[in-house]
Amino acid sequence: MIRAVIFDFDGVIANSEPLHFRAYRDVLADRGLVLTERDYYDRYLGYDDIGAFRAIASDRGVALAEADIADLVARKAVRLEVLERSASVLFPGARDAIVRMAAAWPTAIASGALKAEILRVLEHESLRVHFPVVVSAEDTPASKPDPAPYLLAVDLLGAFTPGLRPEECVAIEDSRWGLQSARDAGLRTVAITHTYPASALEGVADIVIPHLDRFTTELVAALAR
């Protein structure tokens, strides 16, 4: 049976990937580095901030010290906060999907975003109460597609559901990186086509849905059969 549901954040709950791209692009431009939208979605979306800046610099043959990476991460966080002020970043149906799942099972977030960014959105949207567990970029030594974020989320959810096992959890993700992380951790998986088409997600997800309205308790429960 299913005993818990774990959400990815960016690309599933928050339509913040366009804002993340703009924030990366803007702070990299200050250092004379160009990031195109296509490169961001094709090559770097699956990284956390530290991994993304390292990969972008490496791909361009630029050596960045750890202090440079830390500075870019800090300035990108500030830029993102400014961009988020303009409007709600929730995907259509996200609020209702969260409320539905939280009424049926313990819920968590497993994300490569910074914790401050996640909590800022959840608190602004009055959704923090639904997530007793939030796993963010700072919480695991490896980021997706490594299974560490999901393994930690399952472990922490065990405080609310004793004896919880990964195969009793469902993850909802928007990318192959995230789906691979969840699958390698032993979770069942749902893919949402917010960021990539169904053809890019089939084969790595147990089921692919086009809209969060389809993320129902009946669909989740059926994954246990």
CA distance 171 to 201: 14
In which element (H, E) is residue 217 found? Answer: helix 217-222
pLDDT at residue 85, rounded to an integer: 80
Stretches where the chain sits below pLDDT 70 are 87
Which is nearest to 12 in space by CA: 149, 179, 165, 183? 179
pLDDT at residue 225, rounded to an integer: 72
Sign of the four-CA dihedral 91, 19, 200, 143: negative
Q: Each residue of 155-185: b (16+ CB within 10 Å) or e?
A: ebbbeeeeebebebbbbbbbbbbbbbbbbbb
pLDDT at residue 18, rounded to an integer: 87
pLDDT at residue 16, rounded to an integer: 82
Name the region of 101 (left: φ>0; alpha: ψ -120 to 50; beta: rest): alpha
Global pTM reads 0.80
